[in-house]
Amino acid sequence: MVNQVLDAIFEAIQTSPSWRVRLKALPLVQVFYFRQVPLISEIKIVEMLEVLCKCLDDEVVEVREMAATTLSGILRLSPRRSVLTLKDRFVRLAKNSHIPNRQDPGYGKAIRQRHAAILGICALVDSYPYTVEKWMPELLTNILAEHTYDPVRVLIGSPFKSRR
């Protein structure tokens, strides 16, 4: 039944037109993961991380923030290789996201992508609250420091803003 429950939660998150449903379903993923981690297959864990990464680019900022919080909690119990893969993904996304002029039609999407990258990086940092991993200082000083002066709309609600 584990796979069916996860599939139902993933479907609610990915297909619901209501942002409130997406927002309320995200913590269920984390609670279910904590309680059922020995029974969840590796494929489902990868799918779970993918669903959460897609939610980091949601149109509603509250959903993005909850996805980052959920991702951080899940990464605390995940294998190190998945953390390194996500780190590379978020760093690449941050470096490739260029914010155009405000009048450009792609401005909103560019802001969301940059915010997704920053939230993903912050989730990685938050997933190790008591240790400093080998990759963390470079991530903080080289990647996040570049985005210190991003437009305010990018960093609104970012969990990292209180650490600067």
Does residue 115 register a pLDDT over 50? yes
Would you list the DSSP string of 57-113? T-SSHHHHHHHHHHHHHHHTTS-HHHHHHHHHHHHHHHHH-----TTSTTHHHHHHH
Q: Write out the two tokens for 108.
A: 């909103």
pTM of the model: 0.86
Does residue 154 register a pLDDT over 70? no
Q: Which whole-number Å values give the CA distances from 44 to 11, 13, 47, 49, 157, in the listed order?
A: 13, 15, 5, 9, 29
In the prediction, which pLDDT does 150 show?
72
CATH number, domain of 14, equals: 1.25.10
Does residue 161 register a pLDDT over 80? no
In the prediction, which pLDDT does 136 show?
93
Does residue 6 register a pLDDT over 80? yes
User: CA 141 to CA 126: how far, in whole Å?
Assistant: 16
Q: What is the pLDDT of residues 57-74, one digit of tens each?
A: 999 999 999 999 999 999
Q: Which whole-number Å values give the CA distances from 1 to 7, 34, 125, 138, 142, in the listed order?
A: 10, 16, 33, 42, 44
Would you list the DSSP string of 123-135? HHHHT-SS---TT
Structural domain that includes position 154: 2-163
In the prediction, which pLDDT does 142 show?
87
Q: What is the mean pLDDT of residues 132-142?
A: 91
If one counts the domains in the chain, the total is 1
More confident position, 79 or 24: 24
| Rounded (10°) CA dihedral 69, 36, 10, 42 | 100
Q: What is the mean pLDDT of residues 124-140?
A: 92
In the prediction, which pLDDT does 163 show?
39
- Where does the pLDDT of residue 155 fall: very low under 50, low under 70, confident under 90, or very high at 90 and above? very low
Per the CB < 8 A criterion, the answer to whether 48 and 89 are in contact is no
